[in-house]
Structure 1
C-alpha cells in the first residue's frame, strides 16, 4: 500500500529519508502533484513537500526571496505583485495540457527547471536560483548558496539541483532573485509566414537592439487557438517588447520598420499581450483533453523548423515554436514516434526531446527523457551516487531540461 509522507519540518523529512534508505524503500518526490503521471513504476511511497510552506524572507530592495519548497506558486506571485516584482523565467503551468490537478509549488518550479517564453533572454529557472536547503539521500540536511546575489558560496551545487526532478535530493527551501514588473508590454505580429520565413524574421528581430523578450511562431494550424482567436488569419510570428511605455512605443516602431519586408504587420495591446504569452507558455493549443502524444523539443533556433518539416514528411504532427524557434511543442496524431523524433534531432545537431503526454501504456513503453551520451550518463551516475547512494529518490514523472 502506498504511503504519502507529508513532513512539517526538515528534521521530519530527514527522519523519513533515513528510514527509507535503511529499509531500501524508494520514495517518489512530490511537490504540488501537478506533473505526476503513471510511468509504470511499481507502487512506492511518496515524500511530499506540501507541509513545508511559507515565505521565509522577502527583500524587495535586494529583489530576493526565500520560501519553503512547498509554498504554492500563487502565494509567491501574490506577494511579488504587491511590490510589482516577478519571477524572470515565467514558470509554465502544464496542468491543462497534462490533464493533471494539484497546486504548483515554488520548489517544484525549481526542481523541474520550469521556464517559459522569457528563458531565451532572461535565463532558465536555475539561473534565478541563489540558494537551497535540502535533505540528501542519507537523510543529511544541507545548505548551499545564500540569500544575496553576490554570495556565490555553493553556487554550482545550487544549480545542479535545479532541474534534477527530485532524483538527487528533497528540496526544503529555495532562495531566488526577482525582476521588476514592466510598466507595459506590446506584441508585434507578422502574418502569413511559413516556418522557415518566421525563423528568419525572428533572427532579424533578435539581432536588433530593441530588447525582444518573447519570440514565437504560431503556424496556421494553431494560430486560431490563441488570444481567443483574435489574431489575424493565417500563421502569426509574434515578438514581445516590455518596459516603460515611451520606450516600448519607440522600440515597437523600429521593429515594425525593420520587419515590414517580411509580411503584413499588426500589434497587440498590453492586455492581449499578457494573455497571448501565457497561452504560449502553457501550451494552450494542445490542452485539448486528449492523450495524443505531446513532445517538448529543445534544439538550436535554426533547427526547430527543419525538424518539424522533416517529421511532416513521415508522420502526422502539429507544432508551434517558442524561444526564437529553439523550443518546439509537437503534438503527434497517434504514435509518439520516439525513434524518429530523436533520430532527426541528432541529425540536426542534437538537442533534447521529452515526451510530456501520452496514454499511460505508451508512457510506460517509451523513453520519456532524452537518452544521455555515455560520458554524461556516467557523470550523472557518479553525481547520483554522491547525493543518494542508496537510490532512495525516484524523482518525479515529468520535468524540464
Structure 2
C-alpha cells in the first residue's frame, strides 16, 4: 500500500485491523509484522525559505531532492544523516521521513546535535487514523506535549509521519581534518577528548583502529571560514603534539570522502559479519571495545559511539555486560535479530512508560508491531 495523500494514509490506518509494516525508502533493513505501508507516495518539498532557514517536506520526499534544494542555496541539514544502503546491502532511496522516524544523525552530532534538535513541526497519523500536528514551520516556543520530539526516533510505532518541518543551516566555507597515526584506542579517546574539550569548535572526532592503510588513524574535524580554520587547526596540532606528529588535510574532495566514510561506516561495507552500534560514555569506549572481541571497530563522537563488526550470531550485549549505554543490532540475519532483538531491552520502569505511550497513540497495536518491543524469551 502506497497512499498518495495524507487523507488516504489516514483512511488506510483507520480501517486497518491487522498490523502494518511502515516504511519509507526501504533502506534501513528493519522488518515489522504485517502488510507493508509505504509513505514514499507522500513526496515533495512543501515550503523552503532559505532566509528563514526553514524547509517543510512530505515524509516520503527523497533525501537527494532535499539535499539538492539546500545545496543550491549553500545550505545543509547540519545533523549529517547517514546513508545505510552500502552497510546493509539495501537499495531504494532514503527519505526525510525515515531519517526523522529513526533520528538518524552523523558525526557532526557531537557539536551540532541530532536530527531531533532541528525539528520544528510534524504532521502524522496515529494508530486510530487521526491526523495530528504539532509545532510549526518556524522556530518558536510551544506548550503542552512536545510531539515533535516524541515522534523523532519512534520508528513509526506511535504514528506515521506525513510531513516534517526542519531548521537548516548554511554550509561552511572550509573543512580541515587533523589526523594522527598509530594511537591505541585508549590514546585516541584521550586525544579526541582533549580536542573536544578545547575552545576550537571541533565538529567531528573519530578513530579507526584499522585505517585505510591497515594502521590506526585518529581524525579531528573543524569547519568554518578559511582564516579561522587555519588558526584553529594550528592550535589543535599544538594541543595534540604529545600524541605524535599530526598532519592536516584540507582538500575538499578528500575531507568529504573521509567524513562520508565515517558517517556511513565505510570500513564495514561488503564485509561479512554482524554490525552493532554501541552508545556509551567516551571514557568507557576502549574497555567496551575490548570486551566485544570484534573483528573491526570504528569510534565516532569522540568514543561515545562504537560501531563493531562481530562474527555472525554474536550476542554483543552479553559480552558488554552492565554499563551506562545501549547496543543496537544494526545488521544481522533474521534469525539473529529474532533471537537477540534489534534494540536494547529497556529497564522495566521505562518500558512501562513506553508501553503506555504505545497504547495511547496506537490503541489497535498495528503500527510496526514488535519492532521495538522486547524480544520473546524461549
Partner SS for 1:8: coil
Alignment match, 1:18? 14
Which protein, 1 or 2, shows the higher relative CO under an 8 Å CA cutoff with sep ≥ 6?
1
Match for residue 253 of structure 2 among 250, 271, 287 = 271
**Displacement after TM superposition at 1:335 (Å):** 2.9
- State the match for 2:277 in structure 1: 296
Q: Does residue 334 in structure 1 map to residue 312 in structure 2?
A: yes
Deviations 1:193-252 (A, max 9, x none): 100011111111111111000000111x2x01xxxx5xxx62111000100011100000
Mapping 1:45-194, distance limit 5 Å = 45-152=35-142, 156-194=146-184
Q: How far apart are residue 367 of structure 1 and its match?
A: 1.5
2:374 pairs with 1:384: no
Separation of aligned partners in 2, 1:397 and 1:80? 33
2:276 touches 2:316 (CA, 8 Å); kept in 1?
A: no
What residue number does 2:189 align with?
Answer: 199
CA shift in 2, pair 1:26/1:123, >3 Å: same
Change in 2 beyond 3 A, CA 1:89/1:74: same
Deviation at 1:183, TM superposition (A): 0.4
- Tell me: CA distance 1:151–1:56, structure 2 relative to 1, closer, same or farther (3 Å): farther
Q: What secondary structure does 1:61 align onto? A: helix
Residue 365 of structure 1 pairs with residue 361 of structure 2: no
For structure 2, the 5+ residue unaligned runs are 373-378
| 2: CA distance, partners of 1:172 / 1:396 | 22
1:325 aligns with 303
Distance 1:74 1:175 in 2: 17
Check if 1:308 corresponds to 2:289. Answer: yes
Tell me which residue corresponds to 1:32: 25
With over 3 angstroms needed to count, the CA separation of the structure-2 counterparts of 1:10 and 1:214, relative to structure 1, is: same
RMSD over equivalenced CA pairs, Å: 1.6
> CA distance change for structure 1 residues 153 and 79 in 2, over 3 Å: closer, same or farther?
farther
| Aligned-partner Cα distance in 1 for 2:302–2:277 | 15
1-structure distance, mates of 2:109, 2:186: 22
In the TM superposition, structure 1's runs of 4+ consecutive aligned residues that sit over 3 Å from their partners are: 395-398
- What's the TM-score, normalizing by structure 1? 0.89
Secondary structure of 1:100's aligned partner: coil
Residues 252-278 of structure 1: CA deviation (Å, up to 9, x unaligned): 000001111111211212321111000
Distance 1:302 1:374, change over 3 A: same
Partner of 1:213: 203
Q: State the alpha-carbon separation in 2 of the partners of residues 305 and 197 from structure 1.
A: 9
1:198-277 equivalent positions in 2, closer than 5 A: 198-219=188-209, 221=210, 223-224=211-212, 234-269=215-250, 270-277=252-259
Give the TM-score taking structure 2 as reference length: 0.95
Residue 151 of structure 1: CA displacement? 4.3
Deviation at 1:37, TM superposition (A): 4.1
**How many residues are aligned here?**
371
Query: Shift of residue 323 of structure 1?
Result: 0.2
**What is the CA–CA distance in structure 2 between the aligned matches of 1:256 and 1:128, rounded to whole Å?**
32
**Secondary structure of 2:240 counterpart:** helix
CA contact (8 A) 1:165 1:395 kept: no
Say whether the 8 Å CA contact 2:42–2:58 is kept in structure 1. yes
Question: In structure 2, what is the Cα distance between the partners aligned to 1:388 and 1:268?
Answer: 50
**Per-residue CA shift, 1:277-322, capped at 9, x if unaligned?**
00000010101253x110011101111111012233xxx4321100
**Alpha-carbon distance in 2 for matches of 1:14, 1:181:** 37
* Residues 296 and 353 in structure 1, CA contact (< 8 A), matched pair in contact too: yes
The 1:52–1:334 alpha-carbon spacing in structure 2 relative to 1, beyond 3 Å, is closer
- State the shift of 1:396 in Å: 9.3
